[in-house]
């Protein structure tokens, strides 16, 4: 039986789901909505797009709304899922790190990107 901690990412492939672990990829019949309902009680899983549910324990790094996972898969956070991802990021990381506002990139009228910098680690930047 597959334990939730073993799952790195779940990818939608039409009516099938590809469940990636560090050892093997499983192909299951089902929908992302049903899988999301099954995993909603497990706080380590987060749906980040119409096609991906990630195990947040396997996030290696993030760059803006691009997520690098421990198995080498790189996924982008869908536009309609960005607020949810940002709230997750704040809850998990913002308490541990102090950020300062550096500026706004792009037009303010359409989805501006806010650049913030880590006080503890000068090389850590975040675009939100």
3-state helix, strand, coil in the chain (%, to 5): 25, 40, 35
- Which pTM does this prediction carry? 0.71
CB 48 within 8 A of CB 89: no
Question: What is the model's pLDDT at position 107?
Answer: 59
Q: What is the pLDDT, as a whole number, of residue 101?
A: 60
Helix (H) or strand (E) holding 44: none
Q: Tell me the domains of the chain and their CATH numbers.
A: 4-96 (2.40.50.1020)
User: How many Cα atoms occupy the beta-carbon half-sphere of 92 within 13 Å?
Assistant: 14
Coil, strand or helix at 91:
helix
For position 25, what pLDDT does the model report? 94
**pLDDT tens track, the chain, 128 positions:** 788 889 999 999 889 999 999 899 999 999 999 999 988 888 889 999 999 999 999 988 888 789 989 999 999 999 999 988 888 877 776 555 555 666 666 655 566 666 666 555 555 555 55
Which tokens is 117 given? 């910098």
């Amino acid at each position: 039986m597959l334990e939730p901690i073993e799952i790195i990412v779940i990818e939608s492939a039409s009516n099938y789901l590809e469940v990636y672990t560090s050892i093997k990829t499983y192909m299951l019949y089902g929908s992302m909505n049903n899988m999301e309902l099954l995993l909603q009680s497990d706080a380590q899983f987060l749906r980040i797009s119409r096609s991906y549910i990630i195990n947040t324990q396997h996030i290696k790094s993030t760059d803006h709304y691009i997520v690098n996972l421990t198995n080498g898969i790189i996924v982008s956070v869908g536009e309609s899922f960005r607020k949810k991802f940002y709230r997750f990021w704040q809850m998990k990381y913002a308490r541990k790190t102090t950020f300062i506002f550096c500026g706004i990139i792009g037009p303010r009228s359409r989805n501006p990107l806010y650049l913030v910098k880590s006080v503890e680690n000068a090389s850590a930047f975040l675009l939100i």
